[in-house]
Structures are given as C-alpha cells and as structure tokens.
Structure 1
C-alpha cells in the first residue's frame, strides 16, 4: 500500500492535479475535460487561460484517441495500448502531458512535424495553419495535421517531446505543452 502514498507524494511534488492512465475513448475524453474544467473553475482561473488549456487538452486527447497504436491486438510483450494524460499546475503555468505508444516507423514523421511547428514564430504558425486548412488533406486516421500547430498557437510555447523505446516495433511518445497562467 506504500505505493499509493508514494504516488500521492509524486503528484504533489510535480503539481499534478489530474492523471489518467488507461484506454482512451471519446467518453473518457469528455470526462477528463469536465474534471479539468471543474478544477479550474474551483480555483477561479481566468476564462482566457481556461480556454487555452481546454483547447490544448482537446487536441492532445484527440491525438491519443486517433493515433495511439493498438498493442492489444498484437499481444506483444504483454503490452497494451494504454496511454497517459497528466495536467499539472504551478503558480505561473499549466503543464499538459500525454504519452502513448507509436510505431517506430512513425517517429521520424512525428518528429519532423513537431520540429517544423517549433521552428515557427506566431506569424509563421498562422500561415502554416492556413496552408494546412487550404490543402485539406486528411490522413487515414482522420487527422489533417492541425493538432500540433493548434497546440503551439494556443499555448504560445514550443512543444516538448520524446520517444522511449518499448521494443523493436514500438516506442512511447511523450508530449508536453506549457500554457502560461497570465493572459
């Protein structure tokens, strides 16, 4: 039972106010968003900051639902397609973290998209957003590539990411977005 206390201490140390690990569905996503909204309302967060955090959370959670690889069907190494979502709050910012398995062959593509977004300033992001909307190309998983652009635009910050190898076929993709608490 000590692990519960250890987890509690870790959450306090990292200012985590919401953590969910497991399967992500549209219903679970709605519940996570509702909990986050109640939490921000309870502390009297400004509507502008709430809107930015909420928008980034929606994009992050949609990415998990649409793009997490299903390890369940494969039964490899006893791995499941569980993903994780964390929301943390400090005096000056919110930290939105997500993680999910991805195929190793997707790493270069994902990295290049995020690096492209991170290389742009506010105006460059606006132009890239317009360009992607105009092209309107939808991937086989239902995405148009706007998620990373939108997260960077809403947060006004660079996106941080990493890939941790799981096995020869999959890695765990972690993404962190920071949203300043001042408008």
Structure 2
C-alpha cells in the first residue's frame, strides 16, 4: 500500500460544533477510501476519541501551539498523530496513566475497561477516562507519546497511535437486497460469499474487497487449509466479471491447499455449467455442492 496523508487539521480552538464538522469531513474521506467497514469504524472511533480528548484537556488559543491532528497511511499501518499543549502540572499524572495502560495485557485491559465503566469515576473535566482505553483497545498497540517543554506552565503533549491493517484477521460485509454477504476469517481459514450480487457499481464494490485481500496477502498465504464457500442465489453480468476477479485474487495469494466450494440449486444444470466455466477461467477446480 502506498504512503500518503489521509486527513489532518490544525486549530487554535475546538468545540463540539467544530468537532462535528471535522468528523463529517473525515467520514466523507473514509467513504472514498477502499477500507473494510471494520477498519473504517476503528479509524472513526479512534479519531473521535482523540479529538474529543484534545478538546477537553488541551489548552486552546495558543497561536504557537495549535491543536493538531493527522492520519497517515504508511504501507500497511495507519498512524494517528495528535499534538496539543497541556498544563505542565498534569504531565506526571498523564504520563503515569499512559505507561500503566501500555503495560496492560489484552485481558487486563478489558478488565480495567469494565472496571472504569462500572465505577463511573469522573475526571476533573467531566470525562470518564474511557477515551484512552477505547483508543488502546481499538488499536491494540502501545501509545507512543512524548512531552516537550513549551513554557513555565505549559507542555506540548504528542501522542502517536498505530493501527495495523495486517492484524485485521476478519473482513465482513453484511448483505443487503443488492449486495452479498462477504466474510473472510483468516484465523478460522473460512471464506464466504453468499446472497445476491447486483450492486449499483459492481466495479467499486468488489475493488474494495480485492484491495483488502491485497493488503492481507500474507494472511492468505499463511492459511494451511482455507475453504472458500460461494453460495450466490443470483448475480448480474457486471458482478460476474468482478466475482471472477475476486476469486482469482484469492487463488493468487492462497496456497495450493485452497478448496473452493460452489453451491448451486438442485437440478439447475445451467448453474452447474456456469460454475464449471468459472472454475476453468480462474484455473482452479471447484467442489460443486447441490443444495
């Protein structure tokens, strides 16, 4: 994946009206990107929590120390970077808590998260302290933070959060009246495409799926005995060429042990023939299963 700046802003002050506008702009950007729904949701949630924390705890109206935020894509990693001034007297408490959270295992982080929800302990500015925990759980990587003296009373706090695309082991798109259910579970080695396929723009719909596969090609290669199960009730002509391209992409990055199961209605000879033709095009034998 290429490296590029996905989103950024620099503001002297933030309020919830401005935040809503920023998040709307981010949503537009994400809708134009070929990310899976899960990745989009994680990007949005991490960004939202990060920006709200900057609004609550950052010092506003400092021309030489604006509230800054950016999202950068570097190969298969999404990097969130925030920078804002805080009161120096809060530095030790913040640093101690971030180090504490960084050391928590996934299991202990979950316990601490539940504990904070149950106690509803408030901070001085009214937050429940959940923002940091939510960002840590969504990214599942340690915070990279630093403090730089700005004045006698203020310190510049910079925090970097990374979200690895390689760790997204499950890709899921829920079905609609016009689009199929798609789920690729790399851990369980089960891949599924089912339902109907007649999206408004099949090229765009399937390009997003193929892009996710390309970003996770190591995960596909590492599967020992993957099974792709195709159970499509109906697909139109524009979908057909994209389904073929999708299966070709899966075959390309998967091992020779990949099994493709193609389901078709009992006594539907034409559907069986079409499956055999697709198998010939993708150069991979299908296991045909009557329903």
**TM over 0.5: same fold?**
yes
| Equivalent position of 1:108 in the other structure | 92
Distance 1:138-1:94 versus aligned 2 partners, 3 A rule: same
Superposition CA RMSD, Å: 1.8
| Equivalent position of 2:114 in the other structure | 130
Q: TM-score, normalised by structure 1?
A: 0.83
| Equivalent position of 1:177 in the other structure | 161
- What is the CA–CA distance in structure 1 between the aligned matches of 2:138 and 2:129, rounded to whole Å? 15
Q: Runs in 1 of length 4+ with deviation above 4 angstroms?
A: 78-81
Equivalent positions of 1:1-183 (< 5 A) are 15-22=4-11, 23-70=13-60, 72=61, 79=63, 82-182=66-166, 183=168
- What is the CA–CA distance in structure 1 between the aligned matches of 2:74 and 2:116, rounded to whole Å? 34
Larger Rg: 2
- What is the CA–CA distance in structure 1 between the aligned matches of 2:142 and 2:163, rounded to whole Å? 10
Distance 1:161-1:87 versus aligned 2 partners, 3 A rule: same
Q: TM-score, normalised by structure 2?
A: 0.54
Corresponding residue SS for 2:82: strand
- What is the CA–CA distance in structure 2 between the aligned matches of 1:155 and 1:64, rounded to whole Å? 18
| Equivalent position of 1:6 in the other structure | none
Corresponding residue SS for 1:19: strand
- What is the CA–CA distance in structure 1 between the aligned matches of 2:69 and 2:27, rounded to whole Å? 15
- The structure in which a higher percent of residues are strand is 2
The answer for unaligned runs of 5 or more in structure 2 is: 169-291
**What are the superposed Cα offsets for residues 37-86 of structure 1, whole Å, 9 maximum, x if unpaired?**
2222212210011111111111101101111124x4xxxxx756631111
Count of equivalent residues: 165
- What is the CA–CA distance in structure 1 between the aligned matches of 2:119 and 2:75, rounded to whole Å? 40
